[in-house]
Structure 1
């Protein structure tokens, strides 16, 4: 049944030529940052999180997820909110591929684009539902595994998807559900849809990465290690 619903969703997805969804960010309390050196920074991030507007824009060929500041001038709290939420850098994907790209502008490593395989999540669909922005959404949960220099971490992810809008994507390009994700809760960070525009007449902004400077995550890790070793020496 789950497979049938998903196939129907993908078939209906072709009827939507383009779409633009706005999301607002909320950063909740986290015991990891309740004390220590990052306590003040995390508090500022949580305070300024709602000053960022996120957009999920897509057309028939590509999709991107990026942030827009509501404030005219970038504030340190806004930048901290992007960092703590893991959404500082835009996400981009060609819909006929299984690869996601993120653009970076690093003070140390310079500009580069990271290429990685799209994650395939094992979603558990639940019967619980609620209304978001006027649409009936259903709950789904999965576990996301993140590995970085600090180790390997498992995060519980809760998504509220809308079968009425057969777009199998959402914030941070989470995917694989039979409907658009209107709310995504990843640990202590929540993205909630505030505006949904299907087949708008205006040309949508699609932030495309520079594919001439692609690096893998392994290459970036090695570049950072080499830089740290050069400083020590």
Structure 2
């Protein structure tokens, strides 16, 4: 082997090792603003004044506008609420007290193992919701747009699962009343929620916010019927790399088990507040 060939071989090995090393160490952070709209017509008392309804609506808007941080590498990611100081006077109120029992935790995704772990705190008790990573059948439309300097492609899918949300607080009492009256309780139909996602192949990782993944690039925006998740900032290969670890704390339950536990707890809280209000009114 000539000296020139040997030099070329050494250069090739060096370049291959550098590319592989960078690939293994690649990491990024994406910041997302999540906004969820809530149908206010089903909330509050029938005799609630417009001023009271407006205050509740403002609290709900604040409660459902959150900033999350997605820390990711090529196979794993951790999605969690960005820690912020609470503004003075932001807490308080019956509804805030009820919903304050649920605390957003860490959501871990592993696209290689198809694992999804969600660490959640409910009224002081820690749960680890464990399930297979849900898969969406994405259809790439060919449309493109710019998001923060990144060229994004559009994809759509139909989501057939629904996370625990405030509608559970309205459905449960109605179901219990029907059961007490021996009325037929119809099983709820499988939800079919249209999802629109925008992803960029400039960041070729199979990751995204929340439960979303499965596209050939980082998902920067997600839209459903009532929620918009939009990326506001991206940091690639930060100097201070974070450790992406599987959460291990909490009682291990399935999503179905957690939904049942959470629904029961919120129902108990609502009944306690209702009884307290009735006693206060009579006094």
- Kept in 2, the 8 Å contact 1:87–1:172? The answer is no
Aligned length: 211
**What is the CA distance between 1:120 and its match in structure 2?**
1.3
- 1:44 equivalent to 2:59? Answer yes
**Do residues 190 (structure 1) and 228 (structure 2) align?**
yes
Deviation at 1:209, TM superposition (A): 2.2
2:58 matches 1:58: no
What is the SS of the residue equivalent to 1:35? helix
Structure 1: runs of 5+ lacking an equivalent: 1-10
Q: Secondary structure at the match of 1:220?
A: helix
Give the alignment's TM-score, normalised by structure 1: 0.73
For structure 1, which segment, 155-164 or 184-193, has the greater mean C-alpha deviation from structure 2 after superposition? 184-193
2:32 match: 23
Larger radius of gyration: 2
Deviations 1:8-66 (A, max 9, x none): xxx9x9466111011122334x5xx141216764543324655x321110235631111
| Corresponding residue number in structure 2 for 1:107 | 123
Residue number in structure 1 paired with 2:10: none
Structural RMSD (CA): 3.8
Cα distance 1:190–1:219, how it changes in 2: closer, same or farther (>3 A)?
Answer: closer
Measured in 2, the distance between the counterparts of 1:175 and 1:131 equals: 20
Does the aligned pair in 2 maintain the 1:185–1:191 contact within 8 Å?
A: yes
Give, in angstroms, the shift of residue 168 of structure 1. 1.4
Where in structure 2 are there 5+ consecutive unaligned residues? 1-19, 45-52, 172-187, 269-283
Are the counterparts in 1 of residues 73 and 205 from structure 2 also a CA contact under 8 Å?
no
CA 1:195–1:104: 2 relative to 1, 3 Å: same
Q: Partners of 1:211 and 1:37 in 2: how far apart?
A: 34
